């Protein structure tokens, strides 16, 4: 099925080390396969301190701290010949108070706008929420990645239900495979591998997973927890490696130096998938209840991982119906107890892995791209 729609995307973009940048690259790659006559064009939101060389599909670079750039971007879009604008919205991307530099761009647009909401403030009266409401008011449609987010927009934000479309976070279409082969390749055979793959920030709650590792070690001495990913660039700029150093201090205090390994790298997709396939139990101990998306958790589901997570908005939905296990926020004891139980009961664990993998088939990039294109086409 091919379509003929000319779309401009406003987003961060590769080679920037940013989850939204990677998401936009993967989404537009998948849409291009279905829409080959008008390949995606990008307005890349850029941080001035990063000297990046963008690929040819980036037609305009917007400096996030320059208010004039937002109006210039709107003028560029309005004269581009595009049919529709797809905005990837995350508060940290845009300059001003709560990202309000974006509002003049939105106001000046003469094309239909579809906004993908990557995070949803808990309090609908907060400054961030008021900015988001203005963006939604200017959008022909908004997309969210879970039914929970849709319900919150309707109930708490008063957004008409017909304006909101649920489209899952995309994932690569990967075969289900046991971990043994991958563990041997990484010289980690016979170990219980826990892990998470993320840009590291204090909101990840990794310290609670470390305390769980210390408890697990008493019963399963061969446990190894992989903390994979660089420190988030914005965190690095503002606070340096203070969070990572605090984690190393906790590791030493707990005496689990042989049970934790940091892989301080920004991974390519191929490397990320290899590590995911090596991990036995994927852990997201995140601290924010209102986190409405997680690419990392989506990818883990997509390869059929047994996932243990705190009950943030996105995890509550995707891990429901026996697709994973939820544990309370900041509760290392329960996390440890669940991991030990399911590691010692592989048949029960495998049922959950199978459920996770089957659910992941609905989230593959070709399926997600088709849903987006159908939405865009309907609005155009």
What are 82-134's pLDDT values in tens digits?
999 999 999 989 999 999 999 999 999 999 999 999 989 989 999 999 999 99
Q: Which of 10-24, 45-59, 208-222 has the highest mean pLDDT?
A: 208-222
Is pLDDT of 3 > 80?
no
- pLDDT tier at 1 (50, 70, 90 boundaries)? low
Whole-angstrom distance, CA of residue 208 vs CA of residue 238? 23
For residues 283 and 368, state if they share a domain. Answer: no
Q: What angle do CA 129, 23, 47 make, to 5 degrees?
A: 70
Whole-angstrom distance, CA of residue 14 vs CA of residue 226? 25
Whole-angstrom distance, CA of residue 316 vs CA of residue 146? 10
Is pLDDT of 248 > 90?
yes
CATH code for the domain of 297: 3.40.50.2000
Q: Is the dihedral of CA 361, 367, 372, 374 positive or negative?
A: negative
| Owning domain of residue 76 | 7-170+364-379
Which pLDDT score is estimated for 54? 97
- Quick one: which of 259, 255, 253, 277 has its CA closest to 267? 277
What average pLDDT does the chain have?
94
Q: In Å, how far from its chain's centre is CA 130?
A: 23
Q: Decide if 277 contacts 303 (C-beta within 8 A).
A: yes
For residues 322 and 218, state if they share a domain. Answer: yes
Q: Three-state SS for 294?
A: coil
H/E stretch holding 23 reads helix 19-34
pTM: 0.88
User: Is residue 1 in a domain?
Assistant: no
For residues 246 and 289, state if they share a domain. Answer: yes
For residues 162 and 304, state if they share a domain. Answer: no
For residues 251 and 127, state if they share a domain. Answer: no
Percent share of the chain, pLDDT over 90:
83
Six token digits for residue 276: 């995911």
Q: Is 1 buried (19+), middle (13-18) or exposed (0-12) by CB count in 10 A?
A: exposed
Beta-bridge partners for 288: none
Six token digits for residue 161: 């239900």
- Quick one: which of 315, 320, 251 has its CA closest to 284? 315
Whole-angstrom distance, CA of residue 347 vs CA of residue 337? 17
């Amino acid at each position: 099925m091919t379509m003929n729609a000319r779309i401009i995307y406003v987003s961060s973009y590769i080679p920037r080390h940013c989850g939204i940048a990677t998401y936009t690259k993967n989404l537009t790659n998948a849409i291009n396969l279905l829409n080959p006559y008008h390949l995606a064009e990008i307005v890349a939101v850029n941080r001035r301190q990063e000297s990046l060389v963008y690929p040819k599909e980036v037609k305009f670079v917007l400096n996030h701290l320059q208010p004039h750039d937002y109006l210039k971007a709107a003028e560029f879009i309005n004269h581009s010949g595009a049919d529709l604008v797809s905005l990837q919205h995350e508060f940290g991307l845009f300059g001003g108070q709560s990202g309000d530099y974006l509002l003049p761009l939105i106001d000046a647009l003469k094309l239909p706008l579809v906004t993908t909401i990557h995070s949803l403030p808990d309090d609908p009266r907060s400054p961030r929420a008021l900015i988001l409401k203005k963006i939604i008011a200017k959008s022909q449609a908004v997309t969210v990645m879970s039914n929970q987010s849709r319900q919150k927009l309707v109930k708490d934000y008063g957004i008409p239900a017909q304006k909101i479309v649920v489209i899952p976070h995309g994932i690569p279409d990967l075969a289900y495979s046991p971990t043994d082969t991958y563990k041997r390749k990484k010289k980690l055979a016979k170990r219980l591998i826990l892990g998470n793959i993320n840009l590291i920030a204090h909101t990840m709650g990794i310290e609670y997973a470390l305390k769980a590792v210390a408890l697990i070690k008493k019963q399963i001495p061969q446990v190894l927890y992989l903390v994979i990913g660089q420190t988030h660039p914005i965190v690095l700029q503002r606070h340096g490696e203070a969070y990572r150093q605090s984690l190393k201090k906790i590791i030493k205090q707990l005496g689990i130096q042989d049970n934790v390994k940091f892989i301080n790298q920004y991974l390519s997709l191929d490397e990320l998938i290899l590590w995911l396939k090596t991990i036995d139990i994927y852990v997201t101990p995140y601290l924010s209840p209102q986190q409405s998306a997680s690419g990392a958790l989506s990818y883990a589901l997509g390869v059929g991982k047994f996932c243990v997570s705190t009950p943030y908005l996105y995890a509550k939905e995707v891990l429901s119906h026996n697709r994973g296990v939820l544990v309370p926020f900041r509760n290392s004891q329960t996390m440890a107890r669940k991991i030990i139980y399911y590691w010692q009961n592989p048949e029960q664990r495998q049922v959950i892995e199978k459920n996770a993998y089957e659910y992941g088939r609905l989230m593959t990039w070709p399926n997600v791209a088709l849903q987006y294109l159908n939405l865009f086409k309907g609005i155009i």
